[in-house]
Chain A
Amino acid sequence: MLVDIANLHVAFPTPSGPAMAVRGVSLRLGQEKLGIVGESGSGKSLTARAVLKLLPGQASVTADRLSFDGIDVLTASESTMRKIRGRRAGLVLQDPKYSLNPIMTAGDQVAEAWRAHKGGSRKQARAAAVDLLAQVLIRNPADVANQYPHELSGGMGQRVMIAIMLAPDPELLIADEPTSALDATVQAEILRLIDDLVARRGMGLLLISHDLPLVGHFCDRVAVMYAGRIVEEVGAGELARARHPYTQGLLRCMPSLAHPQATLPTLVRDPSWAA
């Protein structure tokens, strides 16, 4: 098991007592594609970040088990975590505009990631960077390597982000809304790229998204989160037959090209879902 989480709780202190953001999440991930779906505030990003021990300092994290490839993340030291982060588990974030360094060229940023984890000379790193940019299907990798983030489109920037994540050959890729800042056309290309890379390199993938149909298409399994809990876990192909009323409600309230309806059903939240 690449990731093994049992009964994870994340809480934040507030003046009126701790706010429970994640409440008893358990999931396991091997070399497969697992999607976590839920709305803002459901705890999906916190769950993924807990795996890399990347939660803000004031967060209190408890779990019966929280491990990455057998390493106990809860008790791991910062130096142990540094060997996991980036090197063994990469994190791709939502918006390349904010995650890339605006005053470094794309090539330098990929080369920096490669060198930090693999060592080697500047020249080797540079060559590796161009090769990685080619792997993320950038047609003119040598030119793009010399460009700054503001000269790149959103889709191109996200490819560069993925190239940076791939540099150290990670075993796990955590993608937190990797395409929600992108166009539908570009979104499909990036997902196809991630899919291809995950298959070719035999990586595990944790894909976090609020887009249920998208995750259903793309992942092997989907965990649906609501108010800090996983309310349902289904095989991606069975999403249309989901049983939990929250999942069903989410699927119904989306406008669809195939099934037009005059008024969209809205989600009536049953307090028992969050209980």
Chain B
Amino acid sequence: MTPSQSINGALRKVPAWTVYIVGAVYAVWQFWRALNQIGPYLVEPINVLERAYGEVGLQLMVLGLLVTPLRKWTGVNLLKFRRAIGVTAFFFVLAHFLVFAILDVQSLGRVWTEIVKRPYVTVGMVSFMMMIPLVVTSNNLSVRKIGTAAWRKLHKLTYLAAILGVVHYLWLVKGFQIEPIVYAVVVAVLLLARVRKWKQVATDARGAA
């Protein structure tokens, strides 16, 4: 048995909802640490929690985009977790926004000002809004209602949301920092790989017709 086969074998026994449980436990654990000012939350818990939630949200978005290429390149199959990964990503971005609005900015009026006035906040907000239709339609009923082709098209928004998430990150740091650039490169590579595949599919379809 190859390593990827044994990984897939082990994953077969893990139900998809495990992702939600792990995500929720992690989010609550971080909040609890921030509340009690433990570890990285020692001095300024608000900013650190805000960034922690935002970064996990972005990581999960990237992981969601990685599912298909990962299967192609390594044989590891995370397909059954993809929906849960995407929805959990949304909840982390939501938590990121709530910490920003309630604990950091602390006033609805100022939150609106920030969204309108600060381009990096605007971009982050647009990314967050884009995830809403994706989350709402992340169930089998919606796939049936909308139709598989249209549903797939809609969920290509994931790429745009991820790109805007990366732009948001690139834009908010000071100076030349590595982390957001790493995310930008990963998302760009995934997108390029996917665009090539879409082109291939389109060409094949014309050839078949």
- Answer yes or no: do A and B interact: no
